[in-house]
């Protein structure tokens, strides 16, 4: 029984890692711009499709492998996915977010939901066989550490990457000028602009970083599932938004805490309640509803929403 | 007197024009509908620039009897106009049902300014209640419908309660989460059919006459959809009257006050809890009624009819048509249902087109085709001229 | 004054709109009236997911339907030419119900053959039954679709999930002796139906029990919590009742977590090369059951394959093509002898009582409308290919299945 619980804890941590990065994406955009971009899940999935597309172009992938060792070429691929995510997010910003800035939030909410549909359907229509589930290539090393099936190299790398990205983000937000400007903007936009922070530049920087994060999130999720479906983006995005809210919208560590909560609930309901697999989704969303009703500021409440 | 007559003719012509537009959109292909929508956007923008739109609204408002007679005649003659084509009648029935739900949803989106992402839950509760009662327990469809409306209203309280706590994005997430939970629970509960849905729902009967029988008039055999067309549009008409009255009533004004600023509204003596719950409950009752109609019309329901994408389509109807404006919501429901049904021929591109149309209309007219109008008070009672009414509105006169 | 001007311009605008609309509606009316001029027609409808996730599965059956209709029209044995009409249910029950309403509103449609998915089929059956239109099912295999109450209108040429799973379930439990089972299935109609079919299949075999059942929503990619749970339960074998992608992922994740010494079994949903591609080496030795038989091995099969390949050089007839072909031919055979103006009710009675010798052998329908022809094949994955159990090295003992 003990080893079973331990194994399920591992499963939950892995699930949390795939959710944490997208949750941070939601928090980042909300912190700076006070908006929720609902199509982030689709952007992450689209980035994973970009990586898949490059590997399926046999000529390009073989050439990459010819020039660089396997590890380096795989890292280049992941960076390609991140760059694609960053470009896509910037395009989204200019088409469906910027035109509605400062207006009714309902319009930007709907336009980003619609943008998610557009991204998803474009993949489904134009990617060859895009509506069928795709096998995601195994770019991470196979094999196990200490011959323990929970400690596969892939899992270790996924956790490692998530932690690394978090640390880099921490360094960026707290130690660089751009990061501190972004923090200032999220606290008081008018005052920050007055002291000479270039708001538009910072918004673009945020979107580029967020997009890169999403690209990596898409890659990690697809690698962990070893499959890729064009239509999972909306649920992935919804879970990402949920973990951001449960943790505390606007807080980077909150997103991590939130993803742990949701992942533990879902995995333990599946693993320990007989027939619970069918109810894991219900349990996860019930937690979200309860959090919003009783603790809307989240686990790590950075920003109170009670403006009254 | 002559001017009065002139008004009447103009109002009648405008009403006729609207009917014809509906008819043409119904008969024509997707491309033509999209062209009509584009022309409509241009026309409306032009009318707004020149102020014509206010005049039109006033004309229509003064001659409600005349215009409603014209619209009524149009619906009555529709089966003959489309030569009993059951496909087109089906589109109109679905448009009517969607219209009822959208009017209810508008109490939340337009009224208190909160986007509720779970209207399909209300719609589904109404449908599932009556389907369960009439299929499993053999209750009459009419009683089932009443039960459906009641239970949907109750659901309105359940979903409305978190709305008191959360606003904006948080409310969006709560309602999306509740919507997802609802769909998952339907799939998981075998008593309501699970993933199989509920087939074989009985049809309505009036004194032993099943609404599911063909109609023979003037030597023309019309499909059974005709009966449902009339039934749905009678309910739709009642819903329109109720919604417009609510908009003009104390409650409608209180909703708008809450939308503007809840704190100010509360200090004015508005009970925030009850007034917000009211908007959810009334909206839910409308949706529950529509759901029951849908269940007894198609004879089959399943979780796919009431999922998140259905909610999204309903929200689009309200936002695209124009929130907090009854004619706007109706326009949105009619247009989007038609576009949706015609898109069935291009199934591979359906959702893509949906997304693109939504983004484009949001970019071009972010407040909808027929945006929210300035409230004008007291015009009807006193018969004030145009200028006086505006003056009264400017002075904040209250009926 | 300005007010007056405004009103005039509205008047003009309204007039323009009205006249334009009138013109275009006359144009439209002219176009539509041209189409509706023909003599008494007899239509047979084909319904299935022509678009959507299952579209690729229905290309073969649709071609087979066309093939059967064109063969009948060419032979000239009926006093009219049958027209074929197609309806798309997109694997969606609501769409199927709407399609069924359209079909029963068309007085020319005399019979329907169709349905790949069970949920749309269940939605449409009451509508066809009420209208008295015969439906012959070629692809939907949920057991409850054919019932005595639906006779004579609803019949089915394909074995049900229960009939399909039964021989395999008997073989692995009774003959091979696998006792402790786990089931991983889907919350969908298909998943719940295969679960019931498997339970029925192992019922009465002494000592066999199912220790865990997990129903997981379609589209799930992470099966590790479930698989981890199975690891602690010391099971002999697993039955997969869900669709191709989900089963492939679960099988792979089992291998990844080190569960390799249990027997894997599944349904006909997995007999597709795409499944083996997705599951990789993890599905080696997996046993599945499939209704029907390779047409080239059937007595009347050679002629069918030759005719099909002549008409559709590219593209296979798929897993259910043979059933679509036979169901259409049963309708045609029943139409023969009903005169120039057949009636759906007479047709239904004749179909229900038919004794038809076709591609799949002799088809008759029992009191529920279910075919009595229960042809099924058990297959096993060997070296990344599905091959018949009887020809496999697993049967001869050259290769070993996981120990009991």
Residues C148 and C167 in one domain: no
Nearest residue to A140 (alpha-carbon basis) of A71, A46, A60: A71
Residues C184 and C325 in one domain: no
Residue A48 has pLDDT above 50, yes or no: yes
Give the nearest partner residue to A133 out of C213, C216, C245, using CB atoms: C245
Return all residues near C382 (Cβ < 8 A) that are at least 6 apart. Answer: C284, C285, C392, C393, C394, C399
Q: How far apart are CA A87 and CA C295, in angstroms?
A: 52
Q: If 0-12 CB within 10 Å is exposed, 13-18 middle and 19+ buried, where does residue A119 land?
A: buried
Return all residues near C50 (Cβ < 8 A) that are at least 6 apart. Answer: C58, C62, C86, C88, C90
Count of residues in chain B: 399
Residues C74 and C171 in one domain: no
Q: Is residue C34 part of a domain?
A: no
Residues B220-249 have a mean pLDDT of: 89
**Residue C205: strand, helix, or coil:** coil
Residue C224: list chain A partners with CB under 8 A: 11, 14
Q: Which domain holds residue A153?
A: 2-18+36-235
Q: Is residue A259 part of a domain?
A: no
Residues C212 and C69 in one domain: no
pLDDT tens column, A161-185: 899 988 898 888 888 888 888 888 8
Residues C309 and C283 in one domain: no
Q: Domain count for chain C, please give it.
A: 2
Residue owning tokens 């049963």? C330
Distance from CA of A279 to the nearest CA of C (A): 9
Residues C202 and C79 in one domain: no
Nearest residue to C267 (alpha-carbon basis) of C338, C348, C188, C325: C188
Residues B132-155 have a mean pLDDT of: 93
On whether the CB atoms of residues C90 and C51 are closer than 8 A, the answer is: yes
In Å, how far are A11, A221, A250, A288 from A254, measured between CA atoms? 20, 20, 8, 14
Return all residues near C373 (Cβ < 8 A) that are at least 6 apart. Answer: C157, C159, C360, C361, C362, C363, C364
Indicate yes or no: CB of C221 within 8 angstroms of CB of A227.
yes
Return all residues near C284 (Cβ < 8 A) that are at least 6 apart. Answer: C381, C382, C383, C384
Residues C63 and C118 in one domain: yes
Question: Which pLDDT belongs to residue A301?
Answer: 66
Neighbours of chain B (3+ CB pairs under 8 A): A, C
Q: Is residue C251 part of a domain?
A: yes
For chain C, residues with pLDDT lower than 70 are: 1-40
Nearest residue to B320 (alpha-carbon basis) of B98, B152, B112, B23: B98
Strand bridging mode C287-291 / C135-137: unpaired
Residues C339 and C199 in one domain: no
**Among the ranges given (A171-175, A281-285, B80-84, B260-264), the one the predictor scored with the smallest mean pLDDT:** B80-84
Residues C170 and C204 in one domain: yes
CA atoms lying within 13 Å on the CB side of residue B189? 14
Q: How far apart are CA A136 and CA A230, in angstroms?
A: 12
- Asked, as a colleague might, if the bond just before C152 is cis with ω within 30 of 0, I would say yes
Q: Is residue C402 part of a domain?
A: no
Q: How many CB atoms sit inside 10 A of residue A58's CB?
A: 8
Distance from CA of A237 to the nearest CA of C (A): 15
pLDDT tens column, A11-36: 899 999 989 999 998 888 887 777 88
- Domain positions in chain B are 1-81, 86-370
CATH number 1.10.3470 given to B86-370: yes
Q: Which of A282, A294, A296, A297 to mutate to test the interface with B (most CBs of B within 10 A)?
A: A282
Q: How far apart are CA A281 and CA A286, in angstroms?
A: 8
Binning pLDDT at 50, 70 and 90, where does residue B278 land? Answer: very high
Indicate yes or no: CB of B362 within 8 angstroms of CB of A106.
no
Binning pLDDT at 50, 70 and 90, where does residue A191 land? Answer: confident
Return all residues near B77 (Cβ < 8 A) that are at least 6 apart. Answer: none
Give the nearest partner residue to A121 out of B180, B263, B351, using CB atoms: B351
Question: Which pLDDT belongs to residue A308?
Answer: 39
Q: Is residue C3 part of a domain?
A: no
One-character DSSP codes across A83-129: HHHHHHHHHHIIIIIGGGTTS-HHHHHHHHHHHHHHHHHHHHHHSTT
Q: Which of A132, A270, A285 to mutate to test the interface with C (most CBs of C within 10 A)?
A: A270
Q: Is residue A58 part of a domain?
A: yes
Indicate yes or no: CB of C214 within 8 angstroms of CB of A225.
no
Nearest chain C residue to A154 by CA: give it: C256
Q: Per-residue b/e over B169-207, b at no fewer than 16 CB within 10 Å?
A: bbbbbbbbbbbbbbbbebbbeeebbbbbbbbbbbbbeee
Q: Is any Cβ of chain A less than 8 angstroms from the Cβ of C231?
A: yes
pLDDT tens column, B6-45: 788 888 888 888 888 888 888 888 888 888 888 888 888 8
Residue A306 has pLDDT above 70, yes or no: no
Q: Is residue C5 part of a domain?
A: no
Q: Is residue C99 part of a domain?
A: yes
Tokens found for residue A271? 């693993």
Residue B396 has pLDDT above 70, yes or no: no
Question: Which pLDDT belongs to residue A307?
Answer: 42
Nearest chain A residue to B109 by CA: give it: A106
Q: Is any Cβ of chain B less than 8 angstroms from the Cβ of A39?
A: no
Q: How far apart are CA A59 and CA A295, in angstroms?
A: 53
Q: Is any Cβ of chain B less than 8 angstroms from the Cβ of A114?
A: yes
Mean pLDDT, chain A, as a whole number?
84
Residues C368 and C256 in one domain: no
Q: Is residue A246 part of a domain?
A: no
pLDDT tens column, B327-366: 899 999 998 888 888 877 777 787 888 888 888 888 888 7
Question: Which pLDDT belongs to residue C45?
Answer: 92
Q: How far apart are CA C169 and CA C178, in angstroms?
A: 10
Helices and strands per DSSP (H, E), number in chain A:
12, 2
Q: For residue C234, give the CATH number of its domain.
A: 3.40.50.2300
Distance from CA of B109 to the nearest CA of C (A): 27
Structure ipTM: 0.86
Residue A111: list chain B partners with CB under 8 A: 358-359, 362-363
Q: Which domain holds residue C192?
A: 162-291+378-396
Q: How far apart are CA A209 and CA A29, in angstroms?
A: 10
Residue B390 has pLDDT above 60, yes or no: no
Nearest chain B residue to C188 by CA: give it: B195
Indicate yes or no: CB of B196 within 8 angstroms of CB of C187.
no
Nearest residue to C228 (alpha-carbon basis) of C264, C182, C284: C182
Indicate yes or no: CB of A289 within 8 angstroms of CB of B181.
yes
Residues C144 and C205 in one domain: no
Output DSSP code: residue A136.
P
Nearest residue to A221 (alpha-carbon basis) of A97, A95, A51: A51
Tokens found for residue A35? 């908006």
Q: Is residue C100 part of a domain?
A: yes
E runs forming strands in C19-124: 42-48, 82-88, 109-114
pLDDT tens column, A98-132: 888 777 777 888 888 889 989 998 998 888 877 77
Question: Which pLDDT belongs to residue C24?
Answer: 55
Tokens found for residue C392? 């496999």
Residues A288-300 have a mean pLDDT of: 83
Strand bridging mode C180-186 / C237-240: parallel
E runs forming strands in chain B: 205-206, 209-210, 215-217, 220-222
Q: How many CB atoms sit inside 10 A of residue B388's CB?
A: 13
Q: Domain count for chain A, please give it.
A: 1
Q: Is residue A56 part of a domain?
A: yes
**Among the ranges given (A277-286, B140-149, B209-218, C192-201), the one the predictor scored with the smallest mean pLDDT:** B209-218
Q: How far apart are CA B227 and CA B216, in angstroms?
A: 12
Residue A288: list chain B partners with CB under 8 A: 173-174, 177
């Amino acid at each position: 029984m003990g080893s079973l619980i331990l194994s399920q804890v591992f499963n939950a941590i892995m699930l949390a890692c795939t959710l944490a990065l997208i949750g941070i994406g939601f928090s980042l955009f909300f912190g700076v711009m006070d908006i929720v971009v609902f199509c982030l899940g689709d952007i992450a999935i689209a980035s994973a499709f970009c990586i898949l597309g490059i590997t399926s172009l046999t000529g390009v992938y073989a050439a990459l492998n010819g020039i660089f060792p396997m590890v380096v070429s795989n890292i280049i691929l992941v960076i390609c996915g991140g760059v694609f995510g960053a470009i896509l997010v910037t395009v989204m910003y200019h088409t469906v977010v910027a035109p509605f800035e400062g207006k009714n939030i309902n319009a930007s909410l709907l336009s980003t939901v619609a943008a998610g549909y557009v991204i998803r359907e474009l993949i489904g229509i134009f990617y060859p066989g895009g509506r069928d589930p795709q096998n995601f290539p195994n770019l991470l090393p196979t094999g196990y550490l200490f011959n323990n099936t929970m400690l596969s190299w892939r899992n270790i790398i996924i956790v490692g990457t998530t932690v690394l990205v978090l640390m880099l983000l921490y360094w960026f937000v707290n130690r660089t000028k751009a990061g501190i400007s972004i923090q200032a903007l999220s606290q008081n936009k008018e005052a920050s602009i007055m002291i000479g922070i270039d708001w538009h530049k910072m918004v673009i920087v945020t979107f580029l970083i967020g997009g890169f994060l999403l690209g990596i999130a898409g890659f990690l999720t697809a690698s962990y599932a070893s499959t890729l479906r064009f239509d999972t983006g909306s649920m992935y995005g919804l879970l990402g938004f949920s973990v951001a809210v449960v943790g505390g919208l606007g807080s980077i560590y909150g997103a991590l805490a939130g993803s742990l909560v949701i992942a533990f609930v879902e995995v333990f309901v599946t693993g320990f309640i007989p027939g619970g697999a069918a109810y894991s989704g219900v349990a996860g969303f019930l937690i979200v509803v309860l959090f919003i009703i009783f603790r809307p500021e989240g686990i790590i409440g950075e920003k109170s929403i009670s403006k009254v | 007197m002559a001017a009065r007559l002139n008004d009447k003719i103009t109002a009648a012509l405008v009403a006729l024009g609207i009917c014809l537009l509906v008819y043409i959109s119904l008969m024509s292909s997707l491309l033509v509908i999209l062209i009509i929508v584009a022309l409509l956007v241009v026309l409306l923008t032009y009318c707004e620039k020149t102020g014509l739109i206010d005049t039109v609204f006033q004309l229509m408002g003064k001659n409600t009897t005349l215009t409603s007679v014209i619209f009524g005649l149009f619906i009555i003659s529709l089966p003959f106009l489309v030569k009993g084509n059951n496909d087109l009648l089906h589109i109109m029935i679905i448009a009517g049902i969607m219209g009822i739900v959208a009017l209810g949803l508008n109490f939340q989106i337009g009224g208190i300014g909160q986007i509720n992402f779970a209207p399909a839950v209300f719609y589904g509760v109404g449908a599932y209640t009556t389907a369960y009662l009439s299929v499993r327990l053999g209750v009459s469809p009419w009683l089932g419908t009443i039960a459906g409306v009641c239970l949907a209203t109750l659901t309105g309280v359940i979903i409305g309660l978190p709305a008191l706590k959360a606003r904006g994005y948080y409310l969006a997430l709560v309602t999306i989460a509740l919507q997802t939970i609802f769909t998952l629970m339907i799939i998981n509960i075998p008593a309501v059919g699970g993933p199989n849905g509920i087939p074989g729902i009985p049809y309505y009967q009036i004194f032993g006459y099943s609404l599911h029988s063909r109609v023979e008039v003037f030597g023309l055999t019309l499909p059974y959809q005709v009966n449902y067309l009339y039934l749905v549009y009678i309910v739709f008409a009642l819903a329109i009257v109720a919604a417009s009255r609510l908009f003009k009533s104390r409650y409608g004004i209180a909703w708008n006050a809450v939308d503007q600023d809840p704190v100010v509204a509360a200090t004015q003596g508005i009970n925030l809890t009850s007034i917000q719950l009211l908007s959810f409950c009334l909206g839910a009752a409308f949706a529950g009624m529509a759901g029951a109609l849908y269940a007894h019309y198609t004879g089959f329901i399943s979780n796919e009819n009431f999922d998140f994408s259905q909610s999204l389509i309903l929200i689009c109807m309200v936002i695209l048509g124009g929130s907090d404006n009854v004619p706007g919501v109706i326009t949105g429901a009619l247009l989007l249902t038609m576009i949706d049904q015609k898109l069935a021929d291009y199934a591979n591109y359906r959702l893509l087109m949906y997304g693109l149309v939504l983004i484009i209309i949001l970019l071009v007219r972010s407040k909808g085709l027929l945006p929210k109008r300035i409230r004008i008070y007291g015009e009807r009672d006193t018969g004030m001229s145009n200028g006086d009414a505006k003056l009264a509105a400017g002075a904040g006169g209250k009926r | 004054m300005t007010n007056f001007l405004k009103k005039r311009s509205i008047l003009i605008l309204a007039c323009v709109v009205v006249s334009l609309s009138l013109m275009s509606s006359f144009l439209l009316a002219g176009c539509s009236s041209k189409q509706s001029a023909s003599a008494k027609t007899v239509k047979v409808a084909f319904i299935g997911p022509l678009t959507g996730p299952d579209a690729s599965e229905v290309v073969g059956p649709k071609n087979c339907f066309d093939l059967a209709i064109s063969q009948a029209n060419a032979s000239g044995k009926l006093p009219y030419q049958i027209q074929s009409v197609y309806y798309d249910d997109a694997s969606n029950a609501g769409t199927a119900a709407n399609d069924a309403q359209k079909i029963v509103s068309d007085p020319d449609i005399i019979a329907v053959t169709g349905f790949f998915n069970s949920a749309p089929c269940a939605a449409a059956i009451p509508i066809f039954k009420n209208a008295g239109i015969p439906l012959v099912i070629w692809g939907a295999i949920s057991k409850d679709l054919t019932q005595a109450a639906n006779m004579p209108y609803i019949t089915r040429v394909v074995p049900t999930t229960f009939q399909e799973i039964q021989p395999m379930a008997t073989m692995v439990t009774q003959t091979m002796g696998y006792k402790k089972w786990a089931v991983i299935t889907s919350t969908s109609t298909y998943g719940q139906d295969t679960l019931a079919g498997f339970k029925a299949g192992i019922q009465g075999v002494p000592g066999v029990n199912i220790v865990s059942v997990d129903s997981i929503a379609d589209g799930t990619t992470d099966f590790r919590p479930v698989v981890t749970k199975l690891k602690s339960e010391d099971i002999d074998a697993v039955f997969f009742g869900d669709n191709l992608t989900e089963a492939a992922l679960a099988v792979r994740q089992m291998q990844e977590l080190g569960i390799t010494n249990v027997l894997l079994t599944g349904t006909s949903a997995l007999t597709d090369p795409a499944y083996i591609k997705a599951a990789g080496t993890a599905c080696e030795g997996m046993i599945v059951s499939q209704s029907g038989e390779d047409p080239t091995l059937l007595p009347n099969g050679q002629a069918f394959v030759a005719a099909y390949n002549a008409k559709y050089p590219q593209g296979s007839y798929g897993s259910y093509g043979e059933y679509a072909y036979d169901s259409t031919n049963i309708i045609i055979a029943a139409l023969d002898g009903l005169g120039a103006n057949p009636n759906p009710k007479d047709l239904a009675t004749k179909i229900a009582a038919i004794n038809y010798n076709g591609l799949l052998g002799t088809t008759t329908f029992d009191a529920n409308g279910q075919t009595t022809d229960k042809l099924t094949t058990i297959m096993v994955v060997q070296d990344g290919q599905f091959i018949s159990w009887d020809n496999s090295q697993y049967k001869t003992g050259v290769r070993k299945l996981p120990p009991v």
